[in-house]
Structure 1
Amino acid sequence: MTETPARPDSVWRGIGTVLTWVVLIVVIAALAASVVVPRIIGGVSLTVLTGSMRPTIEPGDLIVVKPVPVDDVQIGDIVTFQPISDDPTVITHRVVAKTFTASETSFVTRGDANGADDDPIEGEQIRGRLVYTVPKLGFIANALGGNRTELVLLVGGGLVVVSLGAFIAAGIDRRKRRRAAEGES
Structure 2
Amino acid sequence: MTHRVERKKKGLSYWLAESVLTLLAMFGVLCVAAVVAALLFDVRIMVFKTGSMSPDIPAGSVALVRMIPAEDAAIGDVTTVYREGQLPITHRVISNEPDPENPVGRIIEMKGDANDTPDIAPYKVEEVGKLFWSAPGLGKVVTTLSDPRIMLLITLLAGLIVGWAFWPRKTTPDGRGSDELLTK
- Short-chain TM bin: 0.5 to 0.7
Aligned to 2:68: 68
Gaps of 5+ in 1: none
C-alpha deviations, 1:7-66, integer Å up to 9, x for none? 6x6234213322332244235535653x54323333433322223334543444443333
Gaps of 5+ in 2: 170-176
Q: Which has the higher helix share?
A: 1
Aligned to 2:44: 44
Distance 1:16 1:107, change over 3 A: same
Larger of the two Rg values belongs to structure:
2
Number of residue pairs aligned between Structure 1 and Structure 2: 171
Query: Are the aligned partners of 1:24 and 1:159 in contact in 2 as well (CA < 8 Å)?
Result: no
Query: Are the aligned partners of 2:60 and 2:139 in contact in 1 as well (CA < 8 Å)?
Result: yes
Aligned-residue offset at 1:154 = 4.6
Aligned to 2:79: 79
Match for residue 179 of structure 2 among 174, 178, 184: 174
Q: Which has the higher strand share?
A: 2
1:57 partnered with 2:57:
yes
TM-score when scaled to structure 2?
Answer: 0.60
The 2-side partners of 1:135 and 1:173 are apart by 48
The 2-side partners of 1:19 and 1:98 are apart by 50
Query: Are the aligned partners of 2:106 and 2:125 in contact in 1 as well (CA < 8 Å)?
Result: no
Q: For 1:25, give the aligned amino acid.
A: M
User: Mapping of 1:9-158 within 5 angstroms?
Assistant: 10-26=11-27, 28-30=29-31, 32-33=33-34, 35-82=35-82, 86-99=84-97, 105-112=106-113, 114-119=114-119, 120-124=121-125, 127-133=128-134, 138-145=139-146, 154=155, 158=159
Q: For 1:91, give the aligned amino acid.
A: I
Aligned-residue offset at 1:73 = 0.8
RMSD over aligned CA atoms reads 4.5
The 2-side partners of 1:165 and 1:158 are apart by 11
Query: Are the aligned partners of 1:67 and 1:127 in contact in 2 as well (CA < 8 Å)?
Result: yes
Q: For 2:77, give the aligned amino acid.
A: D
The 2-side partners of 1:159 and 1:137 are apart by 27
